[in-house]
């Protein structure tokens, strides 16, 4: 059957270790089901010749109906590096615009954190906030039919001269909340987004097919595949972008379609899969159903590829019970990454909360999860986020001591956080600044003066509001971060907009005994340690993947010295043989 036209999907991400652009498989599945042909131009492995890759394609192909560019991350989201990615994305988009007059649409989780500002910055025609499968297909249909795009629900349309408008989504009256109703302009904040998600189709995952995502190559060079079981997040953690970027309602995928997809990946030789849900154990009943289906299929086929599956899951400390731990282990889970963030109730209150503002776990839940995971033979990574409002030397010390006592496989401590426009913390800080004052704790490595944020109510529109978290007044990059001003820092650092919070980093390194460094990840300053736990272009991670190790990188953290020195070769050979 003749297709309706070609939609080109471009992945501009060139950070290593490489992570497969899962979103492009999702979009390809939806577009093909709607009668379009989807071509993927993946630039991840073309750092030196990406321009030639684009030129070769666009000069040899006919005019595409539409070009989509995914923006997975705006930057490293690492408070001590603050490295933007959107400048490289813009270079790619500018080159595409030179090569074709086809309309360009951008999307992705990173893009969705500040979509109006990025549509304007990139100079693209359209944008999609949140899951894109249905909106992208409707846009392609409109272009194919010659209909105006401003009739596509949920689409961001660039009218030029700093005016970007979002088409109202369907059943807007049902989506509006007290938060959205109070906003001076519609941004899509606090929406459920269930209507944007494809839930029934198994996403088509391919390897070695021209102009498609090559999942096996990503696995061989990056060590992990990915799987999505549900979309969105019902919690309202004050620093988290997920509810705004992905939606405030859980949209559960068909259990059969997810396990079909897992079987497809393991059948291609991709055995290590990490869950890309906001948290795997949200909607725990659905998670258990999925695990039971994996086990049922394994039991029904003794030689099936599911027997080689190794799952790596992200979980909140609660809900998590022994039944879930047992099911995870039987399904093939190798490790659990636990986003505990802190141990003190007074720190978690008002931070790790439900929509009603109530805290949904305590330290005892984290301890129970670690104990259950180890009992059932699964590795654990416990992550803490230090530096939120109210953090002091003593609260930091208690968090470190209690988490280290758990003896997780690895314990990771991050310090400071990147602020994004629509998180509750960023909204609150902007209102406190009120466009006239700075606040202690606001920081950017590139700040040349006090960081003064405007609340939405005082901005001319969403572009101005969003831009201030990424750019300064002159258009230069200024990624805004936050550190608790009560941390053990000198007044000069706390009161400096570009101060480096080195005393807090030094405290962490000095407080933890050197004999325990093998099982901990700590924040680092530039050049202070080779054991940086930032993912982007990390020397340990790139070495790990070159040597053939697979699975979550933290699973190999304890052995990193041997791996970096080349004495982990036998383990690498064993890992390769297991594949």
Label the pairing between strands 520-521 and 230-231. unpaired
Give Cβ neighbours of residue 304 (< 8 Å, ≥ 6 apart): 263, 297, 298
Q: How far, in Å, CA of 544 to CA of 562, rounded? A: 11
Give domain limits for the chain. 6-169+183-192, 224-414, 424-482, 538-578
Q: How far, in Å, CA of 419 to CA of 73, rounded? A: 13
Alpha helices in 113-249 (DSSP H): 115-122, 133-145, 172-175, 178-182, 215-222, 242-246
> Hey, what CATH class is 224-414 in?
alpha beta
Q: Tell me the fold of 6-169+183-192.
A: Rossmann fold (3.40.50)
* Residue matched to tokens 């986003």: 339
| Dihedral sign for Cα atoms in the order 564, 565, 568, 569 | positive
Label the pairing between strands 225-227 and 272-275. parallel
Nearest to 387 by CA among 507, 232, 292: 507
Q: Give the pLDDT confidence score for residue 540 in this predicted structure.
A: 75
Nearest to 362 by CA among 320, 404, 312: 320
Q: How far, in Å, CA of 259 to CA of 155, rounded? A: 31
The DSSP string of 40-54 is EEE-TT-TTTHHHHH
Q: Give the pLDDT confidence score for residue 577 in this predicted structure.
A: 43
What is the C-alpha radius of gyration for the chain, rounded to an integer number of angstroms?
Answer: 23
Residues of the chain with confidence (pLDDT) below 70: 1, 171-186, 526-538, 567-579
Residues 244, 183: contact at Cβ < 8 Å? no
Residues 371, 338: contact at Cβ < 8 Å? no
Nearest to 428 by CA among 447, 456, 449, 451: 456
Q: Give the pLDDT confidence score for residue 107 in this predicted structure.
A: 97
Nearest to 8 by CA among 35, 49, 36: 36
Residues 70, 9: contact at Cβ < 8 Å? yes
Q: How far, in Å, CA of 34 to CA of 39, rounded? A: 14
Q: How far, in Å, CA of 488 to CA of 394, rounded? A: 9
DSSP lists the bridge partners of residue 520 as 411
Q: How far, in Å, CA of 215 to CA of 313, rounded? A: 19
DSSP annotation of 385 reads: E
For 502-542, what is each residue's pLDDT tens digit?
A: 999 999 999 999 999 999 999 998 655 555 555 556 677 77
Residues 54, 91: contact at Cβ < 8 Å? no
Nearest to 116 by CA among 505, 536, 468, 461: 461
Residues 503, 493: contact at Cβ < 8 Å? yes
């Amino acid at each position: 059957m003749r297709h309706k036209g070609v939609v080109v999907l471009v992945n501009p991400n060139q950070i290593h270790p490489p992570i497969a652009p899962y979103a492009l498989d999702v979009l390809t599945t939806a577009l093909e089901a709607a009668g379009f042909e989807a071509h993927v131009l993946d630039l991840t492995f073309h750092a030196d010749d990406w321009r030639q890759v684009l030129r070769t394609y666009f000069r040899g192909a006919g005019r595409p109906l539409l070009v989509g560019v995914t923006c997975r991350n705006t930057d490293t989201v690492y408070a001590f590096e603050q490295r933007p990615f959107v400048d490289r994305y813009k270079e790619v988009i500018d080159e595409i615009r030179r090569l074709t007059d086809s309309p360009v649409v951008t999307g992705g989780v990173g893009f969705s954190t500040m979509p109006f500002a990025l549509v304007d910055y990139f100079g693209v025609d359209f944008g999609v906030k949140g899951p894109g499968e249905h909106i992208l297909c409707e846009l392609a249909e409109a272009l194919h039919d010659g209909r105006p795009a401003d009739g596509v629900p949920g689409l961001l349309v660039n009218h030029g001269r700093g005016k970007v408008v979002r088409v109202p989504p369907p059943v807007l009256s049902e989506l509006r909340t007290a938060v959205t109703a109070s906003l001076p302009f519609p941004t899509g904040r606090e929406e459920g987004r269930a209507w944007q998600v494809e839930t029934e189709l198994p996403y088509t995952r391919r390897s070695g097919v021209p102009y498609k995502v090559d999942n096996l190559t990503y696995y061989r060079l990056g060590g992990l595949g990915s799987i999505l079981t549900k979309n969105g997040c019902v919690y309202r953690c004050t620093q988290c972008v997920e509810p705004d970027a992905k939606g405030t309602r859980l949209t559960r995928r068909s259990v059969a379609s997810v396990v079909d997809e897992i079987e497809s990946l393991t059948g291609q030789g991709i055995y290590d899969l990490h869950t890309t849900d906001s948290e795997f154990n949200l909607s725990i009943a659905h998670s258990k159903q999925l695990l039971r289906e994996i086990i049922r299929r394994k039991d029904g086929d003794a030689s099936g590829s599911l027997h080689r599956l190794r799952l790596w899951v992200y979980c909140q400390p609660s809900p998590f019970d022994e039944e879930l731990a047992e099911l995870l282990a039987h399904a093939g889970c190798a490790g659990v990454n636990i986003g505990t963030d802190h141990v003190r109730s007074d720190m978690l209150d008002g931070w790790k909360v439900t929509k009603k503002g109530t805290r949904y776990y305590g330290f005892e839940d984290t301890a129970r999860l670690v104990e259950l995971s180890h009992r059932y033979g699964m590795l654990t990574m416990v992550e803490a986020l230090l530096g939120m409002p109210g953090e002091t030397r003593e609260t930091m010390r208690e968090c470190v001591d209690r988490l280290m006592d758990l003896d997780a496989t690895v314990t990771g401590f991050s310090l400071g956080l990147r602020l994004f426009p629509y998180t509750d913390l960023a909204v609150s800080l902007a209102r406190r600044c009120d466009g006239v004052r700075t606040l202690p704790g606001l920081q950017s490595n590139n700040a040349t003066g006090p960081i003064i944020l405007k609340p939405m109510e005082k901005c001319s529109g969403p572009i101005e509001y969003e831009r201030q978290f990424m750019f300064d007044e002159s258009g230069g990059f200024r990624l805004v971060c936050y550190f608790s001003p009560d941390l053990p820092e000198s007044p000069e650092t706390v009161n400096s907009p570009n101060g480096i919070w080195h005393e807090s980093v030094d405290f962490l390194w000095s407080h933890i005994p050197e004999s325990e460094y093998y099982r901990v990840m700590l924040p680092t300053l530039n050049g202070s340690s080779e054991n940086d736990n930032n993912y982007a272009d990390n020397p340990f991670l790139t070495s790990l993947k070159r040597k053939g190790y697979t699975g979550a990188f933290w699973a190999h953290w304890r052995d990193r010295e041997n791996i970096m020195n080349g004495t982990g070769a036998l383990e690498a050979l064993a890992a390769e043989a297991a594949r």
